[in-house]
Chain A
Amino acid sequence: MDDNNNGLKIYTENLNLFYGDIHALKEVNIEVEEKKVTALIGPSGCGKSTFLKTLNRMNDLIPAVRITGDVYLDSLNVYRQYDIVELRKRIGMVFQKPNPFPMSVYDNIAYGPRIHGVRSKSKLDEIVYRSLTNAALWNEVKDRLRQNALGLSGGQQQRLCIARVLAVEPEVVLMDEPTSALDPISTLKIEDLIDELKGKYTIVIVTHNMQQAGRISDKTAFFLHGEIVEYNDTEKIFSRPNDKRTEDYITGRFG
């Protein structure tokens, strides 16, 4: 870990991404602060999810994707100076739909650590306990650790997926619309969880729900047509945005 990163965990320099001829991200420059929640908002197709995936190289496998510019994690180039396994261990990801593995609650959490070579039962027990506790799920599942995870409710499944990410001790957690498939109460539980997690992790979250960005994030970036229109403290974005387009979007007057 670089101690001289001035509180920056991730930053990009003139990042461009093309899907074939389509210029999906245009000259994106952003600085993501360590142990803060950064929200990416914008209309469908604005590039926010695409951008999120550039951070842990999830676009690598998509044919016809071409990327120029640079992404840095702890001042090291994500595309040139990281082994992808190491990168994905340090940057975990949670997706829109809860996607537990079709196995027990316990094995879902232990899956990552086992791959990374943890064999000791007591060590795995401890990781499972800690991860589920940190994901605010332990009390609800402690008596059903051996049951299939697919039997949990949607909100519980999503917290399980967050616990599964936490089990490999990442530094950054990317979330791509993590609550859009959940009911309001499960959503608020995840939001509370995010608020607790930010003490330890750097969180970048894409959300269609801009009220959610307002509730949970420290910084907000507004994307439009592949560009960042405005990036500022969330408080500022939601009370006095600088750009007219940001104001139009957050007040629902867009287009």
Chain B
Amino acid sequence: MTTTRHYFDKELEALHLQLIKMGSLVEESIENTILALKKQDVELARKIFWNDDVIDGMEQKIEKMCLNLIARQQPLAGDLRTISTALKIITDMERIADHSADIAEITIRMANEKYIKPLIDIPRMAELAKQMVNKAIDAFIRQDMGLAREVCRSDDAVDDLFSRIVLELINIVKNDPETIEQVINFMFIAKYLERMADHATNIGEWVVFNVTGEHAHLARHENKDDRINNPFVKNTIGDG
């Protein structure tokens, strides 16, 4: 049987290309934002703002493509899920880029200060978040559930790093209350990175929805009590 709907398939391919492009811009912005933070490079940090406008523009462009495909091609079943998934994941991607810009903003604010600690775990978190975004987009393009699940599993590693960083920062500020401003800034940065990973996880979950038609929570805090009895707060207060 000859396949039909060449036009729709062509448009879908164009949509994929745009998503890949947006994904690589997002990855680039994560990479640059950490580079700027590490080197206290104000110029690079400012560039990330520009980049954010480009990414916002791409979100709108892709959204328009999706609405057009729905309006003109009447996608059904898997095709319909693919388009709605694309619509959802661009919001997550845009949010990730927003957080890059947020980190860049803090970088500019701290440009003339000597950091209270060497940056080790924060770049590690950023690298993980970046890889998660990359894999999540890849999983969407290839409709690869295995890869999507891998992304969701990586979220735990990011969460662990986040807890570790927070613990470390609490100890720093306890020893020297003068560090409070930077501690808060780094706390925000760690939180932004943790959110980036959450958004990447969302993308992974959307891919699973795309393939199976059902939502599944694949990661994140099987035991919600763990979050409420937040271990680092408990431990440090106890130690203090």
- Give A residues with C-beta under 8 Å from B: 136, 139, 185, 188-189, 191-192, 195, 211, 214-216, 234-235, 238-239
Contact = CB atoms under 8 A, between A and B. Distances in A.
A215 B2 CA distance: 19
Interface string B45-75: 0000000000000000000000110011110
B7 A234 contact: no
A42 to B, nearest CB: 18
Contact of B71 (A136, A139, A195, A214): A214
A192 B68 contact: no
Interface residues of B, number: 12
B71 A215 contact: no
B111 to A, nearest CB: 45
B5 A192 contact: yes
A185 B7 CA distance: 14
Contacts of A185: 4
Interface string B141-166: 00000000000000000000000000
The majority secondary structure among interface residues of chain A is: helix
Contacts, number: 35
Contacts of A216: 7
B227 interface: no
B68 A235 contact: yes
B6 interface: yes
Contacts of B72: 214-215, 234-235, 238
Contacts of A195: 6-7
Nearest to B71: A238
B67 A189 contact: no
B77 to A, nearest CB: 14
A215 B9 CA distance: 12
B69 to A, nearest CB: 10
A236 to B, nearest CB: 10
Nearest to A234: B72
B7 A192 contact: yes
Given A234-B72, A235-B68, A238-B71, A189 B2 contact: yes
Interface string B1-23: 01011111000000000000000
Interface in B114-138: none
A214 B73 contact: yes
A59 B109 CA distance: 76
Contacts of A235: 68, 72
A216 B5 CA distance: 10
A185 B5 CA distance: 9
A41 to B, nearest CB: 13
A188 B7 CA distance: 10
A191 B6 CA distance: 9
Contacts of A192: 4-7
B71 A188 contact: no
Contacts of B4: 185, 188-189, 191-192
8 contacts: A136-B2, A189-B4, A191-B7, A192-B7, A195-B7, A214-B72, A235-B72, A239-B68
A211 B67 contact: no
Contacts of B6: 192, 195
Given A136-B2, A191-B7, A216-B7, 8 more contacts: A185-B4, A192-B5, A195-B6, A214-B72, A215-B73, A235-B72, A238-B71, A238-B72
A89 to B, nearest CB: 29
A160 to B, nearest CB: 16
The 3 closest A-B pairs by CB, nearest first: A188-B4, A214-B72, A238-B71
Nearest to B74: A211
A15 to B, nearest CB: 28
Contacts of B67: 239
Interface string B196-208: 0000000000000
A215 B68 contact: no
Contacts of B8: 215
A222 to B, nearest CB: 15
Contacts of B7: 191-192, 195, 215-216
Contacts of B2: 136, 139, 189
Nearest to B10: A195
A216 B7 CA distance: 8
A152 to B, nearest CB: 16
A189 B1 CA distance: 11
B28 to A, nearest CB: 30
Contact of B5 (A139, A188, A214, A238): A188
